[in-house]
Structure 1
Amino acid sequence: MLDENTLQAEKLRFWREGYVIVRGMFSADEMAVVKRKVAEIAVMNARVEHLRARQSLGEHPSFETIYVWNDVEGNDIFAKVGRSHKILDRLSHYYDDDVYDYHNKISLKYPGIVGFRPHQDYAYWRDYGCPFPEAHAVFIAIDAATRANGCLELMPRSHLLGTLPHASWSARGSDHGVAPEVLRQLLDAGYQFIAIEAEPGDAILFHGNTIHGSGDNDSPEPRVAMIATMNTRANSPDPARNKPGHPYWTKQVRVRAPITEADLALPLPDFDKRHGSEATTPANHHERVDGHGR
Protein backbone atom coordinates (compact mmCIF):
# COMPACT_ATOMS: atom_id res chain seq x y z
CA MET A 1 0.00 0.00 0.00
CA LEU A 2 1.15 3.53 -0.76
CA ASP A 3 1.46 5.84 2.23
CA GLU A 4 -1.55 8.19 2.46
CA ASN A 5 0.50 11.21 3.54
CA THR A 6 2.96 10.70 0.69
CA LEU A 7 0.12 10.34 -1.80
CA GLN A 8 -1.55 13.52 -0.61
CA ALA A 9 1.70 15.50 -0.85
CA GLU A 10 2.27 14.16 -4.37
CA LYS A 11 -1.28 15.05 -5.36
CA LEU A 12 -0.87 18.64 -4.22
CA ARG A 13 2.41 18.94 -6.12
CA PHE A 14 0.93 17.35 -9.24
CA TRP A 15 -1.89 19.87 -9.47
CA ARG A 16 0.32 22.82 -8.49
CA GLU A 17 3.38 22.11 -10.66
CA GLY A 18 2.00 19.75 -13.33
CA TYR A 19 4.35 16.86 -12.58
CA VAL A 20 5.68 14.53 -9.88
CA ILE A 21 8.99 12.64 -9.79
CA VAL A 22 9.01 9.24 -8.08
CA ARG A 23 12.58 8.05 -7.65
CA GLY A 24 13.04 4.28 -7.66
CA MET A 25 9.45 3.38 -8.55
CA PHE A 26 10.97 0.29 -10.14
CA SER A 27 14.35 -1.23 -9.35
CA ALA A 28 17.37 -1.03 -11.63
CA ASP A 29 17.30 -4.84 -11.86
CA GLU A 30 13.70 -4.73 -13.12
CA MET A 31 14.59 -2.18 -15.77
CA ALA A 32 17.59 -4.26 -16.87
CA VAL A 33 15.18 -7.11 -17.61
CA VAL A 34 12.88 -4.80 -19.58
CA LYS A 35 15.89 -3.50 -21.54
CA ARG A 36 16.85 -7.07 -22.48
CA LYS A 37 13.32 -7.62 -23.78
CA VAL A 38 13.40 -4.43 -25.87
CA ALA A 39 16.70 -5.54 -27.42
CA GLU A 40 15.11 -8.85 -28.47
CA ILE A 41 12.18 -7.32 -30.39
CA ALA A 42 12.96 -7.21 -34.10
CA VAL A 43 10.35 -4.61 -35.06
CA MET A 44 11.77 -2.15 -32.55
CA ASN A 45 15.32 -2.71 -33.77
CA ALA A 46 14.14 -2.19 -37.35
CA ARG A 47 12.52 1.10 -36.34
CA VAL A 48 15.88 2.41 -35.11
CA GLU A 49 17.55 1.67 -38.45
CA HIS A 50 14.65 3.36 -40.25
CA LEU A 51 15.13 6.45 -38.07
CA ARG A 52 18.83 6.65 -38.84
CA ALA A 53 18.09 6.45 -42.56
CA ARG A 54 15.55 9.28 -42.39
CA GLN A 55 17.79 11.48 -40.29
CA SER A 56 20.57 11.02 -42.84
CA LEU A 57 18.22 12.74 -45.31
CA GLY A 58 17.88 15.76 -43.03
CA GLU A 59 14.52 14.83 -41.51
CA HIS A 60 13.53 15.29 -37.86
CA PRO A 61 11.19 12.28 -37.33
CA SER A 62 10.38 12.83 -33.65
CA PHE A 63 7.12 10.92 -33.52
CA GLU A 64 8.69 7.87 -35.15
CA THR A 65 11.20 7.58 -32.30
CA ILE A 66 8.49 5.99 -30.16
CA TYR A 67 7.03 2.53 -30.76
CA VAL A 68 3.37 2.52 -29.69
CA TRP A 69 0.80 -0.20 -29.03
CA ASN A 70 -2.72 -0.51 -27.56
CA ASP A 71 -2.68 -4.06 -26.14
CA VAL A 72 -2.41 -3.16 -22.46
CA GLU A 73 -4.41 -5.88 -20.71
CA GLY A 74 -2.33 -8.95 -21.51
CA ASN A 75 0.19 -10.88 -19.47
CA ASP A 76 3.44 -9.44 -20.82
CA ILE A 77 6.46 -7.71 -19.37
CA PHE A 78 5.37 -4.24 -20.49
CA ALA A 79 1.89 -4.66 -19.01
CA LYS A 80 3.56 -5.42 -15.69
CA VAL A 81 4.98 -1.90 -15.83
CA GLY A 82 1.93 -0.06 -17.18
CA ARG A 83 -0.58 -1.76 -14.87
CA SER A 84 1.60 -1.59 -11.78
CA HIS A 85 -0.34 -0.65 -8.66
CA LYS A 86 2.40 1.92 -8.04
CA ILE A 87 1.13 3.81 -11.10
CA LEU A 88 -2.61 3.09 -11.21
CA ASP A 89 -3.31 3.54 -7.49
CA ARG A 90 -1.18 6.69 -7.34
CA LEU A 91 -2.91 8.40 -10.28
CA SER A 92 -6.37 7.27 -9.21
CA HIS A 93 -5.69 9.18 -6.00
CA TYR A 94 -4.52 12.28 -7.89
CA TYR A 95 -7.66 12.33 -10.05
CA ASP A 96 -10.26 11.00 -7.59
CA ASP A 97 -11.26 8.68 -10.43
CA ASP A 98 -10.30 5.23 -11.63
CA VAL A 99 -7.25 5.40 -13.89
CA TYR A 100 -6.39 2.80 -16.53
CA ASP A 101 -3.46 2.10 -18.85
CA TYR A 102 -4.48 3.76 -22.13
CA HIS A 103 -1.54 2.69 -24.26
CA ASN A 104 2.16 1.96 -23.96
CA LYS A 105 5.22 2.98 -25.92
CA ILE A 106 8.97 2.57 -25.94
CA SER A 107 11.15 5.59 -26.63
CA LEU A 108 14.02 4.39 -28.84
CA LYS A 109 16.48 7.20 -28.30
CA TYR A 110 19.72 5.47 -29.17
CA PRO A 111 22.91 7.50 -29.85
CA GLY A 112 22.32 10.04 -32.60
CA ILE A 113 18.50 9.82 -32.48
CA VAL A 114 16.59 13.11 -32.39
CA GLY A 115 14.46 14.37 -29.53
CA PHE A 116 10.99 15.93 -29.33
CA ARG A 117 10.00 19.55 -29.77
CA PRO A 118 8.20 21.04 -26.73
CA HIS A 119 4.58 19.91 -26.88
CA GLN A 120 1.49 19.06 -24.84
CA ASP A 121 0.15 15.53 -25.10
CA TYR A 122 -3.47 16.64 -24.88
CA ALA A 123 -3.08 18.65 -28.07
CA TYR A 124 -3.08 15.21 -29.74
CA TRP A 125 -5.33 13.14 -27.44
CA ARG A 126 -8.08 15.74 -27.89
CA ASP A 127 -8.18 14.92 -31.61
CA TYR A 128 -8.60 11.23 -30.75
CA GLY A 129 -11.78 11.66 -28.72
CA CYS A 130 -10.61 12.36 -25.15
CA PRO A 131 -12.87 15.15 -23.86
CA PHE A 132 -10.57 16.34 -21.05
CA PRO A 133 -6.78 16.72 -20.57
CA GLU A 134 -6.68 13.64 -18.35
CA ALA A 135 -4.73 11.32 -20.65
CA HIS A 136 -1.14 11.83 -19.68
CA ALA A 137 2.23 10.15 -19.58
CA VAL A 138 4.30 8.28 -17.03
CA PHE A 139 7.92 8.35 -18.20
CA ILE A 140 9.86 5.38 -16.78
CA ALA A 141 13.62 5.44 -17.29
CA ILE A 142 14.94 2.12 -18.58
CA ASP A 143 18.39 3.57 -19.22
CA ALA A 144 19.87 6.42 -17.23
CA ALA A 145 18.61 9.71 -18.71
CA THR A 146 21.06 12.63 -18.75
CA ARG A 147 21.28 16.02 -20.38
CA ALA A 148 23.80 14.56 -22.83
CA ASN A 149 21.55 11.74 -24.04
CA GLY A 150 18.36 13.80 -24.14
CA CYS A 151 16.59 13.54 -20.81
CA LEU A 152 13.02 14.75 -20.36
CA GLU A 153 12.62 18.52 -20.09
CA LEU A 154 9.38 20.09 -18.92
CA MET A 155 7.92 23.49 -18.10
CA PRO A 156 6.54 23.63 -14.55
CA ARG A 157 3.01 25.01 -14.16
CA SER A 158 2.43 25.14 -17.91
CA HIS A 159 -0.54 22.79 -17.44
CA LEU A 160 -2.39 25.81 -16.02
CA LEU A 161 -2.23 27.58 -19.39
CA GLY A 162 -4.75 25.29 -21.09
CA THR A 163 -4.16 23.57 -24.41
CA LEU A 164 -2.03 25.82 -26.63
CA PRO A 165 -1.78 26.04 -30.44
CA HIS A 166 0.56 23.48 -32.00
CA ALA A 167 2.24 23.63 -35.40
CA SER A 168 4.94 22.08 -37.57
CA TRP A 169 8.46 23.32 -36.87
CA SER A 170 9.76 22.29 -40.27
CA ALA A 171 8.62 20.51 -43.41
CA ARG A 172 10.94 17.55 -42.79
CA GLY A 173 9.54 14.63 -40.81
CA SER A 174 7.12 14.66 -37.89
CA ASP A 175 8.64 17.85 -36.53
CA HIS A 176 5.71 19.19 -34.50
CA GLY A 177 5.06 20.89 -31.18
CA VAL A 178 3.84 24.04 -29.46
CA ALA A 179 3.74 26.77 -32.11
CA PRO A 180 7.19 28.44 -32.08
CA GLU A 181 5.80 31.97 -31.64
CA VAL A 182 3.69 30.82 -28.66
CA LEU A 183 6.71 29.15 -27.07
CA ARG A 184 8.77 32.32 -27.51
CA GLN A 185 6.06 34.33 -25.75
CA LEU A 186 6.10 31.93 -22.80
CA LEU A 187 9.88 32.06 -22.48
CA ASP A 188 9.81 35.86 -22.71
CA ALA A 189 7.19 35.87 -19.93
CA GLY A 190 9.54 33.97 -17.62
CA TYR A 191 8.46 30.35 -18.01
CA GLN A 192 11.46 28.03 -17.99
CA PHE A 193 12.24 24.41 -18.79
CA ILE A 194 13.83 22.13 -16.24
CA ALA A 195 15.86 19.07 -17.24
CA ILE A 196 15.00 15.95 -15.25
CA GLU A 197 17.87 13.49 -15.16
CA ALA A 198 16.83 10.01 -14.10
CA GLU A 199 18.26 6.66 -13.06
CA PRO A 200 16.80 3.35 -14.28
CA GLY A 201 13.48 2.79 -12.51
CA ASP A 202 12.76 6.46 -11.80
CA ALA A 203 9.35 7.69 -12.98
CA ILE A 204 8.10 11.15 -13.97
CA LEU A 205 4.31 11.59 -14.00
CA PHE A 206 3.03 14.69 -15.76
CA HIS A 207 -0.27 16.30 -16.70
CA GLY A 208 -1.62 16.12 -20.24
CA ASN A 209 -1.16 19.89 -20.69
CA THR A 210 2.35 20.10 -19.19
CA ILE A 211 4.71 21.31 -21.93
CA HIS A 212 7.59 18.90 -22.31
CA GLY A 213 10.18 17.72 -24.82
CA SER A 214 13.73 16.43 -24.99
CA GLY A 215 16.99 17.12 -26.75
CA ASP A 216 18.77 14.93 -29.28
CA ASN A 217 20.94 12.10 -28.01
CA ASP A 218 24.40 13.53 -28.65
CA SER A 219 26.12 10.97 -26.43
CA PRO A 220 27.41 7.43 -27.01
CA GLU A 221 24.91 6.13 -24.43
CA PRO A 222 21.34 4.98 -25.22
CA ARG A 223 18.32 6.57 -23.56
CA VAL A 224 15.62 3.95 -23.85
CA ALA A 225 12.48 4.60 -21.79
CA MET A 226 8.96 3.28 -21.44
CA ILE A 227 6.13 5.78 -21.56
CA ALA A 228 2.89 4.42 -20.14
CA THR A 229 0.01 6.70 -21.07
CA MET A 230 -2.76 6.71 -18.48
CA ASN A 231 -6.37 7.85 -18.74
CA THR A 232 -9.30 8.35 -16.39
CA ARG A 233 -12.66 6.63 -16.49
CA ALA A 234 -14.37 9.98 -17.18
CA ASN A 235 -12.04 10.56 -20.14
CA SER A 236 -12.62 7.29 -22.01
CA PRO A 237 -12.48 8.24 -25.70
CA ASP A 238 -15.47 8.97 -27.91
CA PRO A 239 -15.76 5.88 -30.17
CA ALA A 240 -16.57 8.06 -33.19
CA ARG A 241 -13.19 9.82 -32.93
CA ASN A 242 -10.98 7.02 -31.61
CA LYS A 243 -8.99 6.64 -34.83
CA PRO A 244 -5.90 4.99 -33.29
CA GLY A 245 -8.09 2.34 -31.61
CA HIS A 246 -6.98 3.22 -28.08
CA PRO A 247 -8.56 1.21 -25.24
CA TYR A 248 -11.76 2.31 -23.58
CA TRP A 249 -12.06 2.36 -19.84
CA THR A 250 -12.32 -0.97 -18.08
CA LYS A 251 -11.44 -1.78 -14.50
CA GLN A 252 -7.89 -3.08 -14.81
CA VAL A 253 -6.25 -5.61 -12.54
CA ARG A 254 -3.32 -4.04 -10.70
CA VAL A 255 0.02 -5.83 -10.97
CA ARG A 256 1.87 -6.18 -7.67
CA ALA A 257 4.54 -8.74 -8.55
CA PRO A 258 8.04 -7.49 -9.38
CA ILE A 259 9.55 -7.90 -12.85
CA THR A 260 11.96 -10.85 -13.01
CA GLU A 261 13.98 -12.71 -15.62
CA ALA A 262 11.14 -15.25 -15.84
CA ASP A 263 9.06 -12.51 -17.49
CA LEU A 264 11.34 -12.62 -20.54
CA ALA A 265 9.49 -15.80 -21.55
CA LEU A 266 6.06 -14.14 -21.47
CA PRO A 267 4.39 -13.56 -24.86
CA LEU A 268 4.65 -10.13 -26.45
CA PRO A 269 1.65 -7.82 -26.62
CA ASP A 270 -0.30 -7.68 -29.87
CA PHE A 271 1.40 -4.63 -31.37
CA ASP A 272 -1.33 -4.28 -34.03
CA LYS A 273 -4.35 -4.46 -31.73
CA ARG A 274 -7.02 -1.78 -32.15
CA HIS A 275 -10.09 -1.24 -29.98
CA GLY A 276 -13.13 -0.59 -32.16
CA SER A 277 -16.44 1.07 -31.40
CA GLU A 278 -17.82 -2.36 -30.49
CA ALA A 279 -15.56 -2.46 -27.43
CA THR A 280 -17.11 -2.04 -24.01
CA THR A 281 -17.58 1.61 -23.05
CA PRO A 282 -19.20 2.79 -19.82
CA ALA A 283 -22.57 4.43 -20.33
CA ASN A 284 -21.38 7.61 -18.64
CA HIS A 285 -17.90 7.77 -20.13
CA HIS A 286 -18.38 11.48 -20.88
CA GLU A 287 -19.74 12.32 -17.46
CA ARG A 288 -17.50 14.70 -15.54
CA VAL A 289 -16.21 13.41 -12.22
CA ASP A 290 -16.07 16.07 -9.51
CA GLY A 291 -13.28 16.57 -7.01
CA HIS A 292 -10.28 16.86 -9.30
CA GLY A 293 -8.88 19.78 -7.32
CA ARG A 294 -8.64 22.28 -10.16
Structure 2
Amino acid sequence: MRDFQMSEDGNFYVTNEVKQSFDENGFILVRALFSTKEVENLKKCMETNTEIPKHAIGRSDGKGAKSKLCVWNKAGDDVCGVAVRTQKVAGTLETLLGGYELYHYHSKLMMKEPEIGGAHLWHQDYGYWYQNQCLTPDMGSVFMPVDRCTKQNSCLQVLAGSHKMGRIEHYLMGDQSGADPRRVEMAKQKYSHVYVEMEPGDALFFHSNLLHTSDQNKSQMRRWVLITSYNQARNCPDLKHHHADYHPLDILPNSALGECDKMDSSLPKDFMNPADDHSARSLKRLEAN
Protein backbone atom coordinates (compact mmCIF):
# COMPACT_ATOMS: atom_id res chain seq x y z
CA MET A 1 0.00 0.00 0.00
CA ARG A 2 1.22 3.48 -0.81
CA ASP A 3 0.01 7.05 -0.55
CA PHE A 4 -0.68 9.11 -3.65
CA GLN A 5 0.07 12.75 -4.39
CA MET A 6 -1.51 15.55 -6.37
CA SER A 7 0.09 16.26 -9.74
CA GLU A 8 2.14 19.39 -10.35
CA ASP A 9 -0.73 20.95 -12.31
CA GLY A 10 -2.98 20.84 -9.23
CA ASN A 11 -5.12 17.91 -10.35
CA PHE A 12 -5.37 14.30 -9.30
CA TYR A 13 -5.44 11.58 -11.92
CA VAL A 14 -6.69 8.03 -11.48
CA THR A 15 -3.92 6.11 -13.21
CA ASN A 16 -3.88 2.35 -13.65
CA GLU A 17 -1.72 2.13 -10.52
CA VAL A 18 -4.23 4.18 -8.49
CA LYS A 19 -7.19 2.12 -9.71
CA GLN A 20 -5.36 -1.14 -9.02
CA SER A 21 -4.55 -0.01 -5.47
CA PHE A 22 -8.18 0.92 -4.83
CA ASP A 23 -9.46 -2.38 -6.22
CA GLU A 24 -6.94 -4.36 -4.14
CA ASN A 25 -7.21 -2.52 -0.83
CA GLY A 26 -10.67 -0.94 -0.95
CA PHE A 27 -9.25 2.55 -0.43
CA ILE A 28 -6.65 5.06 -1.52
CA LEU A 29 -5.09 7.88 0.51
CA VAL A 30 -4.29 11.09 -1.36
CA ARG A 31 -1.99 13.52 0.41
CA ALA A 32 -2.71 17.29 0.23
CA LEU A 33 -5.75 16.96 -2.02
CA PHE A 34 -6.74 20.39 -0.68
CA SER A 35 -4.38 23.36 -0.45
CA THR A 36 -3.71 25.13 2.84
CA LYS A 37 -6.07 27.94 1.84
CA GLU A 38 -8.80 25.47 0.83
CA VAL A 39 -8.49 23.67 4.17
CA GLU A 40 -8.74 26.97 6.03
CA ASN A 41 -11.94 27.83 4.15
CA LEU A 42 -13.42 24.37 4.75
CA LYS A 43 -12.64 24.66 8.45
CA LYS A 44 -14.14 28.15 8.59
CA CYS A 45 -17.29 26.92 6.86
CA MET A 46 -17.70 24.07 9.36
CA GLU A 47 -17.10 26.33 12.35
CA THR A 48 -19.21 29.33 11.30
CA ASN A 49 -22.06 27.77 9.31
CA THR A 50 -25.23 28.80 11.13
CA GLU A 51 -27.19 25.63 10.29
CA ILE A 52 -24.74 23.01 11.58
CA PRO A 53 -25.25 23.69 15.32
CA LYS A 54 -29.03 23.55 14.83
CA HIS A 55 -28.90 20.07 13.34
CA ALA A 56 -25.99 18.45 15.22
CA ILE A 57 -26.84 15.12 16.81
CA GLY A 58 -25.17 13.56 19.85
CA ARG A 59 -24.60 9.82 19.54
CA SER A 60 -23.43 7.62 22.41
CA ASP A 61 -20.91 4.85 21.82
CA GLY A 62 -22.28 2.83 24.74
CA LYS A 63 -18.97 3.19 26.56
CA GLY A 64 -19.50 6.52 28.31
CA ALA A 65 -18.46 8.82 25.45
CA LYS A 66 -20.38 10.66 22.77
CA SER A 67 -19.63 12.19 19.38
CA LYS A 68 -21.61 14.84 17.56
CA LEU A 69 -22.52 14.63 13.92
CA CYS A 70 -24.51 16.71 11.48
CA VAL A 71 -25.90 15.06 8.34
CA TRP A 72 -27.28 16.66 5.18
CA ASN A 73 -28.55 15.12 1.93
CA LYS A 74 -28.01 17.91 -0.61
CA ALA A 75 -24.51 19.31 -1.14
CA GLY A 76 -25.53 22.98 -1.29
CA ASP A 77 -23.40 25.82 -2.66
CA ASP A 78 -21.36 26.79 0.40
CA VAL A 79 -17.65 25.98 0.62
CA CYS A 80 -18.30 22.45 1.93
CA GLY A 81 -20.85 21.81 -0.81
CA VAL A 82 -18.59 23.04 -3.57
CA ALA A 83 -15.64 21.00 -2.26
CA VAL A 84 -17.52 17.70 -2.47
CA ARG A 85 -18.65 18.44 -6.03
CA THR A 86 -15.17 19.17 -7.41
CA GLN A 87 -13.49 16.97 -9.97
CA LYS A 88 -10.71 16.00 -7.56
CA VAL A 89 -13.26 14.69 -5.04
CA ALA A 90 -16.44 13.53 -6.78
CA GLY A 91 -14.78 12.94 -10.14
CA THR A 92 -12.03 10.85 -8.57
CA LEU A 93 -14.46 8.59 -6.73
CA GLU A 94 -16.64 8.29 -9.82
CA THR A 95 -13.66 6.94 -11.77
CA LEU A 96 -12.58 4.64 -8.93
CA LEU A 97 -16.07 3.10 -8.87
CA GLY A 98 -16.01 2.34 -12.58
CA GLY A 99 -16.89 5.63 -14.26
CA TYR A 100 -20.66 5.45 -13.84
CA GLU A 101 -22.53 8.62 -12.88
CA LEU A 102 -22.60 9.36 -9.14
CA TYR A 103 -24.95 11.47 -7.07
CA HIS A 104 -24.57 13.01 -3.62
CA TYR A 105 -26.02 10.50 -1.14
CA HIS A 106 -25.23 12.53 1.96
CA SER A 107 -22.49 14.46 3.76
CA LYS A 108 -21.76 14.58 7.45
CA LEU A 109 -19.53 16.52 9.77
CA MET A 110 -18.11 14.18 12.42
CA MET A 111 -17.14 16.11 15.54
CA LYS A 112 -15.00 14.30 18.09
CA GLU A 113 -14.15 16.76 20.82
CA PRO A 114 -11.05 16.40 23.03
CA GLU A 115 -11.31 13.77 25.79
CA ILE A 116 -15.01 13.01 25.25
CA GLY A 117 -15.30 12.03 21.56
CA GLY A 118 -17.01 8.66 21.19
CA ALA A 119 -15.89 5.54 19.34
CA HIS A 120 -17.44 3.99 16.25
CA LEU A 121 -17.88 0.24 15.90
CA TRP A 122 -16.33 -1.83 13.14
CA HIS A 123 -18.77 -1.58 10.25
CA GLN A 124 -19.24 -1.39 6.52
CA ASP A 125 -21.24 1.53 5.18
CA TYR A 126 -23.08 -0.81 2.82
CA GLY A 127 -23.98 -3.04 5.75
CA TYR A 128 -26.26 -0.18 6.74
CA TRP A 129 -27.15 1.29 3.34
CA TYR A 130 -28.34 -2.18 2.29
CA GLN A 131 -31.29 -1.52 4.60
CA ASN A 132 -32.18 1.44 2.38
CA GLN A 133 -32.63 -1.04 -0.51
CA CYS A 134 -29.57 0.06 -2.45
CA LEU A 135 -29.21 -3.15 -4.46
CA THR A 136 -25.45 -3.14 -5.03
CA PRO A 137 -22.42 -1.84 -3.10
CA ASP A 138 -21.47 0.50 -5.98
CA MET A 139 -21.14 3.30 -3.46
CA GLY A 140 -18.28 4.97 -1.64
CA SER A 141 -17.16 7.79 0.60
CA VAL A 142 -14.46 10.44 0.88
CA PHE A 143 -13.03 11.17 4.34
CA MET A 144 -11.67 14.75 4.52
CA PRO A 145 -10.24 15.98 7.85
CA VAL A 146 -9.71 19.62 8.79
CA ASP A 147 -7.88 18.56 11.98
CA ARG A 148 -4.94 16.19 12.28
CA CYS A 149 -6.02 12.56 12.61
CA THR A 150 -3.56 10.47 14.64
CA LYS A 151 -3.69 7.33 16.73
CA GLN A 152 -3.91 9.62 19.78
CA ASN A 153 -7.10 11.39 18.70
CA SER A 154 -8.79 8.38 17.07
CA CYS A 155 -7.82 8.30 13.41
CA LEU A 156 -9.77 6.03 11.12
CA GLN A 157 -8.76 2.37 11.12
CA VAL A 158 -9.41 0.03 8.18
CA LEU A 159 -8.88 -3.61 7.28
CA ALA A 160 -7.21 -3.36 3.89
CA GLY A 161 -8.87 -5.62 1.31
CA SER A 162 -11.85 -6.48 3.53
CA HIS A 163 -14.26 -5.05 0.93
CA LYS A 164 -13.72 -8.30 -0.97
CA MET A 165 -15.64 -10.17 1.74
CA GLY A 166 -18.92 -8.75 0.47
CA ARG A 167 -21.62 -7.49 2.78
CA ILE A 168 -21.44 -8.72 6.39
CA GLU A 169 -24.51 -9.01 8.59
CA HIS A 170 -24.96 -5.90 10.74
CA TYR A 171 -26.70 -5.50 14.07
CA LEU A 172 -27.88 -2.67 16.26
CA MET A 173 -25.46 -2.34 19.17
CA GLY A 174 -26.20 0.53 21.52
CA ASP A 175 -26.93 3.54 19.31
CA GLN A 176 -24.83 2.24 16.44
CA SER A 177 -24.91 -0.22 13.56
CA GLY A 178 -21.99 -2.64 13.75
CA ALA A 179 -20.72 -5.61 11.75
CA ASP A 180 -21.04 -9.13 13.16
CA PRO A 181 -18.20 -9.20 15.72
CA ARG A 182 -17.34 -12.83 14.89
CA ARG A 183 -16.81 -11.96 11.22
CA VAL A 184 -14.75 -8.92 12.19
CA GLU A 185 -12.43 -11.08 14.31
CA MET A 186 -12.03 -13.49 11.40
CA ALA A 187 -11.28 -10.59 9.06
CA LYS A 188 -8.59 -9.29 11.41
CA GLN A 189 -6.73 -12.57 10.98
CA LYS A 190 -6.58 -12.17 7.21
CA TYR A 191 -6.47 -8.47 6.37
CA SER A 192 -3.94 -5.82 7.36
CA HIS A 193 -5.12 -3.51 10.14
CA VAL A 194 -4.17 0.01 9.03
CA TYR A 195 -4.26 3.15 11.18
CA VAL A 196 -4.92 5.90 8.64
CA GLU A 197 -3.10 8.91 10.09
CA MET A 198 -3.89 12.04 8.10
CA GLU A 199 -3.10 15.74 7.94
CA PRO A 200 -5.67 18.45 7.21
CA GLY A 201 -6.17 18.51 3.44
CA ASP A 202 -5.54 14.79 2.92
CA ALA A 203 -8.41 12.66 1.62
CA LEU A 204 -9.25 8.98 1.94
CA PHE A 205 -11.43 7.45 -0.79
CA PHE A 206 -12.98 4.16 0.27
CA HIS A 207 -15.39 1.47 -0.92
CA SER A 208 -18.73 0.96 0.82
CA ASN A 209 -17.84 -2.60 1.87
CA LEU A 210 -14.52 -1.69 3.52
CA LEU A 211 -14.51 -2.53 7.23
CA HIS A 212 -13.53 0.52 9.30
CA THR A 213 -13.71 1.83 12.85
CA SER A 214 -12.38 4.56 15.16
CA ASP A 215 -11.61 4.67 18.88
CA GLN A 216 -12.67 7.18 21.52
CA ASN A 217 -10.81 10.47 21.42
CA LYS A 218 -9.13 10.62 24.82
CA SER A 219 -6.52 13.15 23.71
CA GLN A 220 -6.40 16.93 24.04
CA MET A 221 -6.82 17.28 20.26
CA ARG A 222 -10.09 17.91 18.47
CA ARG A 223 -10.94 15.70 15.48
CA TRP A 224 -13.37 17.20 12.96
CA VAL A 225 -13.88 15.42 9.64
CA LEU A 226 -16.14 15.96 6.64
CA ILE A 227 -17.29 12.65 5.15
CA THR A 228 -19.24 12.66 1.90
CA SER A 229 -20.92 9.55 0.51
CA TYR A 230 -21.96 8.95 -3.07
CA ASN A 231 -24.17 6.43 -4.85
CA GLN A 232 -24.22 5.46 -8.50
CA ALA A 233 -27.25 6.89 -10.28
CA ARG A 234 -28.12 3.44 -11.61
CA ASN A 235 -28.19 2.15 -8.00
CA CYS A 236 -30.77 4.62 -6.68
CA PRO A 237 -33.36 2.60 -4.72
CA ASP A 238 -37.11 2.81 -5.25
CA LEU A 239 -37.60 3.00 -1.49
CA LYS A 240 -38.10 6.54 -0.18
CA HIS A 241 -35.80 6.85 2.81
CA HIS A 242 -33.91 9.37 4.91
CA HIS A 243 -31.06 9.89 2.43
CA ALA A 244 -31.18 11.52 -0.98
CA ASP A 245 -32.71 10.05 -4.12
CA TYR A 246 -30.92 10.57 -7.41
CA HIS A 247 -30.36 14.19 -8.37
CA PRO A 248 -27.67 15.45 -10.77
CA LEU A 249 -24.35 16.10 -9.06
CA ASP A 250 -22.98 18.65 -11.56
CA ILE A 251 -19.28 18.00 -10.97
CA LEU A 252 -17.34 21.28 -10.81
CA PRO A 253 -13.80 22.19 -11.89
CA ASN A 254 -11.29 22.25 -9.04
CA SER A 255 -10.95 26.01 -9.41
CA ALA A 256 -14.54 26.47 -8.20
CA LEU A 257 -13.48 25.80 -4.62
CA GLY A 258 -11.03 28.69 -4.55
CA GLU A 259 -13.68 30.97 -6.03
CA CYS A 260 -16.32 30.15 -3.40
CA ASP A 261 -16.56 32.18 -0.19
CA LYS A 262 -20.05 31.18 1.02
CA MET A 263 -20.10 29.95 4.61
CA ASP A 264 -23.86 29.31 4.46
CA SER A 265 -25.58 27.69 1.51
CA SER A 266 -28.17 29.63 -0.47
CA LEU A 267 -29.60 26.27 -1.59
CA PRO A 268 -31.42 23.86 0.75
CA LYS A 269 -29.13 21.15 2.16
CA ASP A 270 -31.94 18.94 3.51
CA PHE A 271 -30.50 18.33 6.97
CA MET A 272 -31.41 14.90 8.30
CA ASN A 273 -33.81 14.44 11.16
CA PRO A 274 -32.72 11.36 13.16
CA ALA A 275 -36.38 10.55 13.77
CA ASP A 276 -36.66 9.74 10.06
CA ASP A 277 -33.92 7.08 10.21
CA HIS A 278 -35.95 3.90 10.03
CA SER A 279 -33.15 1.76 8.60
CA ALA A 280 -31.14 1.48 11.82
CA ARG A 281 -34.24 0.47 13.76
CA SER A 282 -34.90 -2.33 11.26
CA LEU A 283 -31.66 -4.11 12.30
CA LYS A 284 -31.74 -6.91 14.82
CA ARG A 285 -30.30 -5.91 18.18
CA LEU A 286 -27.21 -7.82 19.32
CA GLU A 287 -27.14 -7.99 23.07
CA ALA A 288 -23.86 -8.16 24.96
CA ASN A 289 -22.97 -11.59 26.31
TM-score (norm 1): 0.79
The answer (yes or no) to whether the contact 2:109–2:224 under 8 Å persists in 1 is yes
Instruction: Confirm or deny that 1:12 pairs with 2:20.
Output: yes
How many angstroms apart in 2 are the aligned matches of 1:233 and 1:272?
19
Q: How does 1:8-47 map to 2 (within 5 A)?
A: 8-42=16-50, 44-45=52-53
Change (3 A) 1:58 1:266: closer
Give the structure 2 partner of residue 137 of structure 1: 141
Aligned residue among 58, 62, 75 for 1:51: 58
Aligned residue among 163, 167, 172 for 1:163: 167
How many angstroms apart in 2 are the aligned matches of 1:155 and 1:58?
23
Q: How does 1:166-177 map to 2 (within 5 A)?
A: 166-169=170-173, 171=174, 174-177=175-178
The answer (yes or no) to whether the contact 2:162–2:187 under 8 Å persists in 1 is no
Give the structure 2 partner of residue 71 of structure 1: 74
Change (3 A) 1:136 1:203: same
User: Tell me, which stretches of 5 or more residues in structure 1 are unaligned?
Assistant: 275-294
Shift of 1:123: 1.0
Give the structure 1 partner of residue 208 of structure 2: 208
The answer (yes or no) to whether the contact 1:108–1:224 under 8 Å persists in 2 is yes
Change (3 A) 1:268 1:142: farther
Give the structure 1 partner of residue 183 of structure 2: 182
Give the structure 1 partner of residue 244 of structure 2: 246
How many angstroms apart in 1 are the aligned matches of 2:82 and 2:121?
29
How many angstroms apart in 2 are the aligned matches of 1:87 and 1:22?
10
Shift of 1:168: 3.2
Shift of 1:59: 5.0
Shift of 1:45: 4.0
Counterpart of 1:19, as a letter, is F
How many angstroms apart in 2 are the aligned matches of 1:115 and 1:228?
19
How many angstroms apart in 1 are the aligned matches of 2:44 and 2:240?
33
Which aligned runs of 4 or more in structure 1 are off by greater than 6 angstroms?
A: none
Change (3 A) 1:247 1:76: farther
Give the structure 1 partner of residue 104 of structure 2: 101
Classify the secondary structure of the residue corresponding to 1:78.
Answer: helix
Shift of 1:197: 0.5
What is the number of equivalent residue pairs in this alignment?
A: 261
Change (3 A) 1:86 1:103: same
- Identical aligned pairs, as a percentage? 27
Shift of 1:127: 1.3
Shift of 1:266: 4.7
Determine which structure has the larger helix proportion and give its number: 1
TM-score (norm 2): 0.80
The answer (yes or no) to whether the contact 2:44–2:263 under 8 Å persists in 1 is no
Shift of 1:83: 0.3
Q: How does 1:122-133 map to 2 (within 5 A)?
A: 122-133=126-137
Classify the secondary structure of the residue corresponding to 2:120.
Answer: coil
Counterpart of 1:235, as a letter, is N
Counterpart of 1:14, as a letter, is F
How many angstroms apart in 1 are the aligned matches of 2:237 and 2:265?
28
Structural RMSD (CA): 2.7
